[in-house]
């Protein structure tokens, strides 16, 4: 057996504090089986995780979910993270970010807020979110700016809102956002079930890219515009989180530690902070070492000059599409399974019923 590659400390930890959420987005990437994550880590357990993360050299703690504001102990956890030197980013739907709650988090030392919104149009945004929330999100963004926080606006793009990308960017600009993330849907979890109704057409993507280029030029120095195209239209895959278990890690609500948020779908041994230290899991656990480096790669990846650029692509996507997490990501045009992606794109083009299956509420 080949030796595992040398591993640096991760710089980011995604803390999924709960999978409970007041929204019912049809592209939600959280697990379909929510019942496996009801035994959430308590505050003292999360403090232990964050303390260990800081000792390992982690710099950023992204507090996410679900909806992290549903945790009543959120401010206390933020204060602890601040005390051990972690930069904290709240990733939120902003439903529930009242003035009093925001002031509490500001006092606790929260560094940054990322607000997700589904569209620029109230009716469309509420329909995609599965609940009336648009106006509350706008008020929350204004509140964030009034308290002096940096604001990132995140919009998951898909077939039903990508044509409004110019208006979405203007909305973020008017909200005073420092950064807008325009991220096309990744097809895991609930988004997988809704793939045909969510996957945009090539013409939609081409128009969106023109709009983004123009916005970047116009807003240079005022607002960063990040745009991520859907994997299914890429010639080469993106590296999984910068490479499997190389830069970031995720801790799920029940304490499972994963190399990325979608990896709970893979048939790999579980590792939990309730049983091992974060450092031991990061360096030695099978789930972290399964696809580190390049030694695991099959052909054509092992002989490809891009093998240390995209690292074979996404393991979760390979498993989702082929049933084998060790295969080359079918997004890659060199993959022997690439037809699975081109067939999906062709099939989505012919879909006329765009009815979305909403994710059930779990708040």
221: left (phi over 0), alpha (psi -120 to 50) or beta: left
Other residues' Cβ atoms within 10 Å of the Cβ of residue 319: 21
Tell me whether residue 240 is annotated as binding.
no
User: Has 28 been labeled as part of a binding site?
Assistant: yes
- DSSP three-state, residue 114: strand
SS (H, E, C) 241-260: HHCCCCCEEEECCCCEEECC
CA gap 256, 277 in Å, rounded: 12
Residue by residue, DSSP assigns 77-105 as HHHHHHHTT-EEEEEE--TT--HHHHHHH
Contacts 24+ apart (CB under 8 A), 105-109: 105/74, 105/75, 105/78, 106/147, 106/148, 106/149, 107/75, 108/75, 108/76, 108/78, 108/79, 108/82, 109/78, 109/79, 109/81, 109/82, 109/83
Segment holding 208, helix H or strand E: helix 202-219
Name the β-bridge partners of 343.
none
Which run of H or E residues covers position 190?
A: helix 189-193
What is the C-alpha separation between 161 and 97, in angstroms, rounded?
A: 25
DSSP strands (E only) in 185-340: 224-228, 248-251, 257-258
Structure tokens at 242: 């910068």
DSSP structure string for 4-44: PPP-PPPSEEEEE----BS---TT--S-S-GGGG-S---HH
Q: What share of the chain is helix, strand, coil (3-state, %, to 5)?
A: 40, 15, 45
Contact indicator for 249, 14 with CB cutoff of 8 Å: yes
81 labelled ligand-binding: no
- 152: tokens are 């990132």
Residues annotated within a binding site for [4Fe-4S] cluster: 21, 25, 28
Which residues participate in the annotated binding site? 21, 25, 28
């Amino acid at each position: 057996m080949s030796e595992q590659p040398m591993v640096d400390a991760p710089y980011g930890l995604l803390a999924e504090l709960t999978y409970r959420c007041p929204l019912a987005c049809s592209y939600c990437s959280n697990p379909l089986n929510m019942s496996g994550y009801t035994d959430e880590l308590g505050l003292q357990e999360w403090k232990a995780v964050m303390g260990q993360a800081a000792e390992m050299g982690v710099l950023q703690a992204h507090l996410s979910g679900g909806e992290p504001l549903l945790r009543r102990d959120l401010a206390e956890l933020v204060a602890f993270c601040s005390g051990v030197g972690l930069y904290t980013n709240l990733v939120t739907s902003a439903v529930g970010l009242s003035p009093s709650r925001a002031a509490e988090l500001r006092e606790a030392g929260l560094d940054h807020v990322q607000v997700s919104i589904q569209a620029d149009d109230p009716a469309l945004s509420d329909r995609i979110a599965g609940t009336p929330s648009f106006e509350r999100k706008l008020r929350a963004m204004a509140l964030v700016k009034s308290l002096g926080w940096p604001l990132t606006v995140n919009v998951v793009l898909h077939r039903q809102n990508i044509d409004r990308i110019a208006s979405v960017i203007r909305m973020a600009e008017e909200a005073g956002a420092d950064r807008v993330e325009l991220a096309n849907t990744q097809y895991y979890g609930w988004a997988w079930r809704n793939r045909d109704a969510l996957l945009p057409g090539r013409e939609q993507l081409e128009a969106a890219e023109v709009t983004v280029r123009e916005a970047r030029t116009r807003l240079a120095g005022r607002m960063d515009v990040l745009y991520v195209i859907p994997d299914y239209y890429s010639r080469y895959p993106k590296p999984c989180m910068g490479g499997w278990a190389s830069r970031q890690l995720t801790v799920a609500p029940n304490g499972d530690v994963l190399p990325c948020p979608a990896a709970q779908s893979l048939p790999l041994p579980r590792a939990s902070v309730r049983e091992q230290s974060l450092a031991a899991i990061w360096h030695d656990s099978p789930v972290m070492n399964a696809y580190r480096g390049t030694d695991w790669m099959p052909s054509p990846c092992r002989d490809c000059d891009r093998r240390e650029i995209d690292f074979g692509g996404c393991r979760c996507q390979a498993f989702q599409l082929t049933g084998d997490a060790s295969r080359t990501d079918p997004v890659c045009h060199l993959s022997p399974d690439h037809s699975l992606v081109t067939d999906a794109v062709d099939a989505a083009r012919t879909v006329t019923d765009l009815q979305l299956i909403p994710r059930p509420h779990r708040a």
